[in-house]
Amino acid sequence: MSGVPPFVSILFMLTVFVTVGISIFIVRRDSADTAAGKIVLASIPFWLLFQAALGIGGFYQQTGGFPPRLLLFGPLPAFLFILGLFVFARKKFVASLPLQALTMVHTIRIPIEIVLHFLEEAGAIAPQMSFTGWNFDIVSGITAPLVAFLAFRGKYPNRTLLIGWNFAALGLVLTIVGISIAAFPSPMQQIAFEQPNRAVSFFPYVWLPSVIVPIVVFCHFASLYKLFTNKV
């Protein structure tokens, strides 16, 4: 994407690959023998490549339709897939995932927020999307390792701490998702008309709404499911 320093794209891609790599490692280690685990392991590489192809091909840069293509073909299918995991595989797949690892995954939100800050400075996303604006999601990334340490020091996980933190961090990410939709140049745009949220229409940043956000949200819901069903 023009105007964005190359190191920003490199940092973002590295963060995506690390996030996906950690996710694949967790599934392979704890759930590879389940049908859902095998489907997830096959789906992640396909989804990465599919979204990359749409981003490189300019598919998401056609922003005049309603609903926006990015919303319809990016996060929506990913969230429907996640919903399917909870409906059909919550006991064998979701419940088998390690709670501490699900918590530590959120550390990746630190480099993601740094990338968003540089994108905002380059004029590629709305000012509201940065931690200098309305986005406080970096707090989730900073506190994730601390919560993972404090909550798992004893014989049993600290359910109160984990439940409270997961709800708070989930609220932060859903808030910024709402802001990003409101700032996206489409018929749904409500804010940031002078500097809209353009970057997510281009490769590699299409991976933010289609890969990173679904993984983050899934980890929160998986953690809360395990905590409320005592599968920890």
Structural domain spans, the chain:
6-228
152-163: burial string, b at 16+ Cβ within 10 Å, e else? beeeebeeeebe
Grade residue 24 by pLDDT with cuts at 50, 70 and 90.
very high
Structure tokens at 170: 């989930």
Q: Give me the mean pLDDT over the 63-88 stretch.
A: 95
Query: How many degrees, rounded to 5, is the angle at CA 52 between CA 75 and CA 16?
Result: 70
9 residue type, one letter: S
Tell if the pTM clears 0.85, that is, is over it: yes
**DSSP-assigned states of every residue in 32-48:** TTSHHHHHHHHHHHHHH
Instruction: Measure the CA–CA gap between 138 and 157, rounded to whole angstroms.
Output: 24
Q: Which stretch of DSSP H or E encloses residue 114? A: helix 109-121
Model confidence pLDDT, tens digit, residues 105-160: 999 999 999 999 999 999 999 999 999 999 999 999 999 999 999 999 988 899 99
